[in-house]
């Protein structure tokens, strides 16, 4: 084999390897939370022991649907109010909290939560619209991060 052809094959193998390692939001890796920033915030970052105020849409993950958005099962927008919880203490789904790591207020992020880190891992009641073993997809807007000494207005 000529050195030029050998070089081409090595380059093609390297490129294929890099492509295989790249993961997107829709990869259904059962052990990992995947995220995609839609808008990077500039406000305070989420941190343990602080109130996080979020708006969100939640879908059953369906790789056959555009962007993996299957049937929507929950939405703070539909409910007409934001969700406030203390971050880092298991007050939200474990996969959702992991997916919010590093977010700053004003940001918006798509978060893929595998079943093992969603309702299957839970002490909370599972919504009846969520079948066991369901992976989830959240579109989360971090509205604000407020230290516990200053509870948010309700």
C-alpha dist (Å) from residue 121 to 32, 83, 96, 115:
13, 20, 12, 8
**Which of 3.30.565.10, 3.10.50.40, 2.40.30.30, 2.60.120.330 would CATH assign to domain 25-147?**
3.10.50.40
Tell me: the pLDDT tens digits for 111-138?
Answer: 999 999 998 766 667 888 999 889 999 9
pLDDT in tens, 69-123: 999 999 999 999 999 999 998 888 999 999 999 999 999 999 999 999 998 766 6
If you average pLDDT over every residue of the chain, what do you get? 81
Residue 62 pLDDT > 90? yes
**pTM of this prediction?**
0.77
Of 15-24, 91-100, 143-152, which range is least confident?
A: 15-24
Instruction: Return the half-sphere exposure (C-beta side, CA atoms, 13 A cut-off) of residue 84.
Output: 13
């Amino acid at each position: 084999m000529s050195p030029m052809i050998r070089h081409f094959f090595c380059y093609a193998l390297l490129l294929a390897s890099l492509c295989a390692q790249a993961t997107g939001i829709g990869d259904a890796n059962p052990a990992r939370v995947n995220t995609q920033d839609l808008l990077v915030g500039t406000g305070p970052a989420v941190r343990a022991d602080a109130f996080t105020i979020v708006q969100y849409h939640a879908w059953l993950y369906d790789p056959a649907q555009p962007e993996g958005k299957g049937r929507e099962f929950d939405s703070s927008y539909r409910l007409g109010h934001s969700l406030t919880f203390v971050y880092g203490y298991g007050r939200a789904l474990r996969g959702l909290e992991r997916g919010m790591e590093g977010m700053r207020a004003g940001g918006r992020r798509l978060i893929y939560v595998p079943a093992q880190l969603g309702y299957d891992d839970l002490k909370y009641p599972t919504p009846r619209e969520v079948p066991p073993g369901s992976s989830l997809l959240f579109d989360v807007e971090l509205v604000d991060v407020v230290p516990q000494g200053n509870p948010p207005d309700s």
